Amino acid sequence: MSLGAWLELLASGLITGGIYALVALGLNLQYGLMRILNIAHGEFLMLGAYFTWMMQTAFGVSPLWMLPASFALLMMLGLAVHWLCFRRLAASSPNLDVFEARGLMVSFGLLFLVQNFISFLWGGELRGYDFMAEPLKLGGAQFAANKLLVFALALLFSAALIVLLRTTLLGKGVRALMQSPVGAQLVGIDTKRLHPLMFGVGLGLSGVAGCLLSMAYTISPAMGEPYTVTALIVITLGGFGSMSGALAGGLLLGVVEALGMHFTNPSLKALLSYAVFIAVLLARPNGLFAK
């Protein structure tokens, strides 16, 4: 294989991995911070994708403009969902384990609700639009412009989130909450504000991921579920609550899949992903980046 071919292969893995990472980060924020295992995460991603598609095809709005718009819309929706469902759940659950189990049930409900709402509005057909699909040559390799954009933006958003959590006071508060919810409350961190905010940010990120995906792939109301499953693998790989772990886990999974598909057979893709998953869990049961 030529150097260019290797470069293309690795890059295609990284591009897929970047998307995995972005989806996983949002889920990680919700699960790592609040123990909300949001099974409907992929559905909110789908919502972001449909929102972008609708604005692009009906009003000709550039999908790039829809990035902040999707983030804002999904964040607002996240705040509303948190206020309507998870706030009450947190208040009525006797302990964290019960909350986690009930939260899982609620998010299952959300999954069906959101998916069927979109089916009801637009039907279940595949949708898509053409955006920056022309190939770009870089070195000896060739990529679609939209995929490179998706990758760059996925990395940008992931990095921004990691920097936000590492360097700001807000981030410190969030990390404190992840480490010890009770301790954080004792030192005066306002969980009542931080929880909805971070749930909103998590959903906002899924909206961004959906917006990015719609630029490069066809979309349908059922598109979200596989991403939720992959995101669960990725956050387990990286370690619950570890943002850089989710980023590394996502990229790793993408690259392993791409190499595996090239050298074996795409039908073995799931086998490869789960083999990596099991291997990591055997070697480091708490995830690659768990402290």
Partner 1 sequence: MSTIRRSMSRRSAVQVIAAGAASIALPALAQTRPVRVGYAMARTGPWTGGAQVSQEPNYLLWAEQQNAAGGLSVKGSKRPIELVSFDDRSEVETCVRTYEKLMGSDKVDLVLAPWGSNANFAVAPLANRCGYPFLAPTALSKKLIEMKLPYFFLMLQQPAPMTGALVDMLKANGAKTLAVIYVDDLFGLENYSALKVALQGSGLSLVEEKSYPGGIKDLSPVLRSIKDKNPDAFVGFTYPPDTILASKQAKEVGFNPRFFYASVGTAFQLYKNVMTPAGAEGVLGMGSWNAKTSPGAKAYFDAHTKKFGGKEPDRWASGHCWAALEILTAAVAKHGLDRKAIRDYVANTEHSTIVGKIKFSGSENISTPGTVAQWQKGEFEVVWPKNVATAPLIANKPAWV
Binding-site ranges for partner 1 (CB under 8 A): 1, 5, 8-9, 12-13, 16, 115-116, 119, 123-130, 133-135, 142-144, 147, 216-218, 220-222, 226, 257-259, 261-262, 265-267, 269-270
Residues 6+ apart with CB under 8 A from 60: none
User: Smallest distance from the beta carbon of 39 to partner 1, in angstroms?
Assistant: 16
For partner 1, the closer of residues 57 and 179 by Cβ is 57
SS3 at position 31: helix
For partner 1, the closer of residues 158 and 220 by Cβ is 220
For partner 1, the closer of residues 53 and 157 by Cβ is 53
Query: What residues does 141 pair with on adjacent strands?
Result: 138
Query: What residues does 143 pair with on adjacent strands?
Result: 136
Residue 88 to residue 118: CA distance in whole angstroms? 26
63-54-11-27 Cα dihedral, nearest 10 degrees: 100
User: Smallest distance from the beta carbon of 230 to partner 1, in angstroms?
Assistant: 9
User: Smallest distance from the beta carbon of 285 to partner 1, in angstroms?
Assistant: 28
User: Smallest distance from the beta carbon of 99 to partner 1, in angstroms?
Assistant: 29
For partner 1, the closer of residues 177 and 209 by Cβ is 209
For partner 1, the closer of residues 87 and 262 by Cβ is 262
- The string of DSSP codes covering 46-76 is HHHHHHHHHHHHHH---HHHHHHHHHHHHHH
User: Smallest distance from the beta carbon of 220 to partner 1, in angstroms?
Assistant: 6
For partner 1, the closer of residues 123 and 183 by Cβ is 123
User: Smallest distance from the beta carbon of 199 to partner 1, in angstroms?
Assistant: 26
Tokens representing residue 76 in the block: 């607002």
SS3 at position 142: strand
User: Smallest distance from the beta carbon of 122 to partner 1, in angstroms?
Assistant: 10
Q: 123 in the Ramachandran plot: left (φ > 0), alpha (ψ -120 to 50) or beta? A: left
Q: Residue 34: how many CA atoms within 13 Å on its side-chain side? A: 27
Residue 34 to residue 185: CA distance in whole angstroms? 14
Tokens representing residue 175 in the block: 């990390």
For partner 1, the closer of residues 185 and 218 by Cβ is 218
